Amino acid sequence: MSRLHLPVDPAVTDPGGPLLVTPVGGFAVATDGMLAAADRLRALEARLHDDERRAAAADAIHPGVPVPELRAALDRVRGRCADLREAIARAAAEYGETERVVSAVQHELGARLATLLGPILHSAVILAPGPLLALALAGRWYLSDDERAAAIERFVVEHPELVSSPEFVRNVSILATSVDDLQPSILGVPIGPRGGAEASALALLGTAGLVGLMREGHVRTDRVGTIAGGSAPVGVRERFDRIPEGDQVRIERYDAPGMPPRFTVYIGPTETFSPHADREPWDLTSNVAGVAGLSPGSLRAVEQAMADAGVAPGHEVQVIGYSQGGLIATLVAASGDWNVVGVETHGAPTGGIRLPDGLSGMAIRNTDDFIPALGGPQLDDHLLQVEREAFAGDAALPEQLVPAHQRVAYERTADAVDAAASSVVREQVRALDTFGADYLERGGTLTVTTYHSERVDGFTKS
Amino acid sequence: MTTASDPLRAALERQLVLLAPVAEHLAEIPADPLGPALAEWRGPAADAAACRGQELRSGWAEASRAATDAVARLRAHLAALP
């Protein structure tokens, strides 16, 4: 609690920590620096192998000067390179395994605590309805809904440290996977098989629906404008900067002579956190429905925009999104309905969504941002995971709502990913960079269309 | 006209062509492949890696000395030839 709270200054030196990288297909977690060191060692080993071949050839020349000491010394130093590289790999594997075990134990404890806590709350509801009702009514009487929301927001903004630590984020992840245990336990019904964040989100939707909240409706998506020309983005930061807000979807169509078109779909973040489903599909309802694995309004809106832009099932597509946009991008990739070849998400709650093999790109998260944790722990391993603490160590926290989830925090993290030195990160950045640039270099064209979507019926207005 | 030292000179020159780049390589590349990675890494595994890094540096210096010695010996032999 001793951290300083300062006004937001985008020009401030990057307060973020080192990049943590989990390659595709594994749970080993290494820093980008460690992976870059492993890359350098691998290159040194290759060079030393070449040196050894030269020394062996020289040693075999007769008459000449024998050089067995040099050959032995080269063999030893190459062995030490390999030892060091393996030590780095072991450290990464140990760290990843420790994280995995700690996370599994904490989630299991969370589920057990939820089932234990449920009967206590259940008894409280039965035995003490009067005091509970009085408390609830008192809260409603003293403060209106808007005043309560404003008071909570003001409190959180003034105390950013409460929601900005990796420990808090871990607790959110545990809570996100335990709601489905807590809810039936409170109601006094038997616990079914646990289903993690997806089941928790479903349980939340079910409960909210009973009181008229979070009810989905139909969406209509309209073109806002189309512009021809421009360049393909270079790097993570340029892609992040193209993610729209307000008008929620931007689609870039790349055409090249004799080639099928390619599309990059940029999907914006949540526009409102109101639990009342309203005209805005980029809302809390879509967030919860997305984590539940349903078909949120914002997903249907994106698919309407894609169809309007001319995306056919066989066309290659990249999906890029921030926050809810990242959730929807991941759902589009996981649906199997589109030929998604690349995904890049920033701060998205996608841990439980199963992705197909062979995707380029990465999921980027700040470890002190609890929004991604609402999707539960990271279970899928088909996409490179890149994380870092947005405000590391004693870095001053700005007075903002969830500072580590703010756009400026992810801008800095995008810059850090662009500056990554490890081949595992750079290869993925390059793969996304070349997607549109390849077509433009062949004399192709770029057309950008922006879309706005609204719910039109079916939802319940409060 | 050839002399008895011609095959030896050719052999030594061939060895020098092979080994001079090895000596240059070992002298040029700094033996600090971990770079700044250790600064962002803590714990027993980091300590073990730091230890391995130190062993690599000493091994590198040993290999560099061996390569430099070999090249120096070759040059000395060549200079001593008639």
In a domain, A26, yes or no: no
User: Inter-chain contact A64–B11, Cβ cutoff 8 Å?
Assistant: yes
Considering its fold, how many domains does chain B have in total? 1
Chain A residues touching B54 at Cβ < 8 A: none
What residue of A is the nearest CA neighbor of B16?
A58
A222 lies in the same domain as A316: yes
- Binary contact (B66, A73; C-beta < 8 A): yes
How many Cβ contacts (< 8 angstroms) between chains A and B? 124
The HSE-up count of residue A278 (CA atoms within 13 Å, CB side) is 10
DSSP A283: B
Considering the domain boundaries, does residue B63 fall inside one?
A: yes
Q: Which of A166, A188, A210 is the last residue of a domain?
A: A210
Return residues 119-178 of A near B (CB < 8 Å). Answer: none
Q: Are residues A353 and A267 in the same domain?
A: yes
| Beta bridge partner(s), residue A384 | A362
CB atoms A67 and B45 under 8 Å: no
Q: What is the secondary structure of A391-410 as a DSSP string?
A: S-TTPPEESSSSGGGSHHHH
| A420 vs A416: CA distance, rounded Å | 6
Report DSSP state, residue A355. P
**Least confident segment among A22-31, A59-68, A348-357, B16-25:** A22-31
| Structure tokens that stand for A452 in this block | 């706005």
**Global ipTM:** 0.89
How many other CB atoms are found less than 10 A from the CB of residue B56? 26
Which amino acid is located at A11 in the chain?
A
The answer to whether residue B1 is domain-embedded is no
Same domain, A267 and A360: yes
Q: Which of A41, A67, A90 sits opposite B19 (nearest CB)?
A: A67
Residue A462 has pLDDT above 50, yes or no: no
Distance of CA B51 to the CA centre of its chain: 21
Same domain, A91 and A144: no
pLDDT band, residue A6 (cuts 50/70/90): very low
Sign of CA dihedral B63, B66, B69, B70: negative
Residues A205 and A225 in one domain: no
Other Cβ atoms closer than 10 A to A419: 14
Q: Contact A64/B8, CB-based, under 8 Å?
A: yes
Residues A248 and A358 in one domain: yes
Q: Residue B40 falls within a domain, yes or no?
A: yes
Residues A258 and A350 in one domain: yes
> Which of A372, A383, A304, A315 shows the shortest CA–CA distance to A343?
A383
The encoded tokens of residue A456 equal 């039109």
> Minimal Cα–Cα distance from A421 to chain B, Å?
11
Do the domain assignments include residue A27? no
| Record: contact A65-B46, CB cut-off 8 A | no
Is position B16 within any domain?
yes
- Specify the pLDDT at position A358: 94
Confidence of residue A458 (pLDDT cuts 50, 70, 90): low
C-alpha B48/C-alpha B36 separation (Å) is 16
Which one of B6, B8, B15 would you mutate to disrupt binding with A, by most A Cβ within 10 Å of its Cβ?
B15
Would you say A395 and A363 are in contact if contact means Cβ atoms under 8 Å apart? no
pLDDT in tens, A138-192: 444 455 556 666 666 666 677 677 667 777 777 777 777 666 555 555 555 555 5
Q: Given CA atoms B44, B49, B55, B58 in this order, what sign does their dihedral have?
A: negative
Please answer whether residues B5 and B60 qualify as being in contact, where contact means their C-beta atoms are separated by less than 8 angstroms.
Answer: no
Is residue A250 located within the same domain as residue A359? yes
B40 secondary structure, DSSP code? G
Answer with the one of A186, A210, A234 that is the final residue of a domain.
Answer: A210
| Residues A198 and A232 reside in one and the same domain | no
The answer to the question of residue B51 being in a domain is yes
Q: How close is the nearest chain A Cα to the Cα of B78, in Å?
A: 10
Residues B49, B51: Cα–Cα separation, whole Å:
5
A44–B33 C-beta distance less than 8 A: yes
DSSP A187: H
Question: Residue A341 — φ and ψ, nearest 5°?
Answer: -110, -15
In a domain, A115, yes or no: yes
Which tokens in the block code for residue A215? 């009810």
What's the DSSP call for residue B37? G
DSSP single-letter state for residue A272 = B
Residue in B40, B52, B65 closest to A31 by CB: B40
pLDDT digit string, tens, across residues A57-100: 999 998 888 899 999 999 999 999 998 888 887 777 776 666 66
DSSP code at position A268: -
**Per the CB < 8 Å rule, is A70 touching B70?**
yes
Joined together, the tokens standing for residue A46 give 């290759």
Q: How far is B72 from chain A (nearest CA, A)?
A: 11
- Is A76 within 8 Å of chain B by CB? yes
- In terms of pLDDT, which residue wins out, A194 or A26? A26
Q: Are A88 and A156 in contact (CB under 8 A)?
A: no
Output the CA–CA distances (angstroms, integers) from residue A425 to A103, A321, A413, in the order listed.
25, 18, 13
Total number of domains in chain A: 3
Sign (positive/negative) of CA torsion A386, A171, A411, A264?
positive
Helix axes A68-127 and A32-59, enclosed angle (nearest 10): 160
* Cα of A102 vs its chain's centroid, Å: 20
Segment holding A99, helix H or strand E = helix A68-127
Please provide the average confidence, as pLDDT, over all residues in chain A: 83
Tell me the chain A residues in contact with residue B33 when contact means C-beta distances shorter than 8 Å.
Answer: 37, 40-41, 44, 81, 84
Choose the final residue of a domain: A77, A98, A119.
A98
Q: Whole domain around residue B47: which residue ranges?
A: 6-80
Q: Please report whether residue A40 resides in a domain.
A: yes
Given a cut of 70, whether residue A115 has pLDDT beyond it is: no
Instruction: Mark yes or no for CB contact B45/A41 under 8 Å.
Output: no
Decide if A57 touches B, using CB distance below 8 A. yes
Q: State whether A291 and A411 are in the same domain.
A: yes
Residue A116 has pLDDT above 80, yes or no: no
Q: Rounded to whole angstroms, what are the CA distances from A373 to A225, A275, A292, A335, A398?
A: 35, 19, 14, 22, 21
Which residues of B sit within 8 Å Cβ distance of A?
A: 7-8, 11-12, 14-15, 18-19, 21-22, 25-26, 29, 33-37, 39-41, 43, 45-46, 48-49, 52-53, 55-56, 59-60, 62-63, 65-67, 69-70, 73-74, 77
Q: Are residues A72 and A110 in the same domain?
A: no
| Residue pLDDT tens, chain B, 82 long | 556 668 899 999 999 999 999 999 999 766 566 766 666 666 777 778 788 888 888 899 999 999 999 999 999 999 998 8
Domain that holds residue A90: 34-98
Residues of B in contact with A76 (CB under 8 A): 59, 62-63
